[in-house]
Every structure is written in C-alpha cells, then in structure tokens.
Amino acid sequence: MTAQTRADLPGAQRVVVKVGSSSIGGEGAHRIDTIVDALAAASARGTEIVLVSSGAIATALPLLDLAGRPNDLATQQAAAAVGQNVLMWRYQTALDRHGLLAGQVLLTAGDLENPTHRSNARRAMERLLGLRILPIVNENDTVATHEIRFGDNDRLAALVAQLIGADGLVLLSDISCLYTRPPGEPGARAITHVEFGDDLSGYEFGTVVVNSVGTGGAATKVSAARLAAASGVGVLVTSADLVAEALGGEEIGTWFAPNPDAAPTLTGPVGTVSPADKLVR
C-alpha cells in the first residue's frame, strides 16, 4: 500500500532509496555502512528495497588522481567505469555483514523510453527482489551522452519508483529537510510537509548544482519528488545521516504527499502496461 505519511514507511512493501555522490564520495564513503545498515534493517522488517546510488565518478576521482569531476565526456565515462566497480565492491563489503547480496542495474534514459527495455529492466528488478537481492541502480555513465541523460539520479529514482510500483521514495541529501530558500540565507524556513498540488513557486530552491563530485541540489529533489508524488508515490527528502530514522517512520525531513487520485501501478508479471509506464513514455 502506498505510504500516505512518513509513519507508513516502516510498513511499506516496497521502497526506493536514493543517495547522491556528495553523501558517499570522498570523505563521505563511511556513510555506505550507515546506509546499508538501515537498508538491511528495513529488509529484515519485510520491506523490499531498491537503492539508486550515484557516486561512480566521485569514487574514481582519487583513484585516477583527478582533482575534480572531469569536464570531457570520455574521461567522465572512463572514471565511471572504474568508479562503478569500486562502488559496488564497497556496497557488497558492507552487505556481507548482513548476509545480503547486491545486484547491479545500470540504465540509460533511452532504456526507460523503450517499452522492451523498460519491461526487461522491471523484470530484472522484480526477480532480484524475489531472490532477496538488493538492486543497486545507477545511470550507465559509460554509454550515456550529454544529449541523452536523466540529468540527475533524483529523476532516475523517481522513474524507478514508478517503474516498479514502489510504495515510497526516500531521497537522501546533505541537509535534514528542504527550506523555503537556501538554508544559509536569512528568513529561510524548514518545509516539513508538501500536500499534492501545493504551489511552491514562491520558494527559492536554486538551480542544479554541479560540484567536484556530481550534479544535483534542492531543485532536482523537488522536481523528482513532485514527479513521483504525481504518480502516487509518497516521497521523503532528508539527510543521508538520517536514513535509519527515515525508513523507521520518524518525523523528519520534507514529506511530499502522493496524488490521492493516481491510478495504482501494476507490479505483476512483466508484459502488461502499467499506468506508470504510460506516464513516462
């Protein structure tokens, strides 16, 4: 059943969790253990978890002696190839403590626009979940181009949540919740709840941030949260350090209530077209 409030997340059947490069790259690599511990606890409660994780390029930077995110596409692709391998190794090392396995799923924007590729991706993730394996999804940066990309993994996470009929989506950030303007500015107020259809045009979420490790920012999370909420998926935006509290249903972060009139997404055998499929084609 779709999570209508934060408190419903612990009992949700299926939840997508997204973490960004800035949370787990460089000195933040220790958070992988924190995140995996929280995902394992949720899995033990009976919740099926899909993790959407950025961080491939960020993970590769120190290994390739790069001072920052490369600007040219070929080096980005090479860094992603190296970093994705190491990133998965770090996740699996953390999962070993819980006796869990990870399964890598790399997608491009074209995959979710092609009906056959969509069905194949959904079938693979459904089977991984059925085998009690944690799907770890990332954009396939080694083949993606500047012209055909998701733009950021917040959007990818929202589309994955639609694809698999998730009951909830947790977008992990560097701050505990969203604010009406950048939190360092005077007058910034925390946003704790966004009803479906609320007008957010008066708030200043800024533009997409491109930093030394990745892309993203508050604006991309708002956009992704509204996309998922429109298809009937409740969304929580909070800090990566609070992932256990988020999945535990505590009153933290910014909650985007789901569209009460959204048609239910089918998560049965692949081959049928779900409302979510129709939404993003």
The predicted-structure confidence for 132-176, as pLDDT tens digits, reads as follows: 999 999 998 888 665 445 667 999 999 999 999 999 999 999 899
List Cβ neighbours of 182 (8 Å cut-off, separation of 6 or more). Answer: 188, 204, 206, 218
Q: Is 232 helix (H, G, I), strand (E, B) or coil?
A: coil
Q: What is the pLDDT of residues 171-208, one digit of tens each?
A: 999 899 999 988 888 989 999 999 999 998 888 886 54
Domains of the chain, start order:
6-280 (3.40.1160.10)
List Cβ neighbours of 223 (8 Å cut-off, separation of 6 or more). Answer: 154, 155
pLDDT at 149: 58
Q: Is there a binding annotation on residue 221?
A: no
Q: Is there a binding annotation on residue 274?
A: no
Element (H, E) at 117: helix 115-130
Please give the C-alpha separations between residue 192 and each of 94, 100, 114, in angstroms, as whole numbers: 31, 33, 36
DSSP class of residue 263 equals P
pLDDT at 224: 95
State the Cα–Cα distance between residues 277 and 239, nearest whole angstrom.
30
Q: Is there a binding annotation on residue 22?
A: no
Q: Is there a binding annotation on residue 18?
A: yes
pLDDT at 34: 97
Token pair of 170 as six digits: 């947790």
Q: Is there a binding annotation on residue 54?
A: yes
List Cβ neighbours of 63 (8 Å cut-off, separation of 6 or more). Answer: 82, 83, 86
Note the maximum CA span of the chain. Answer: 52
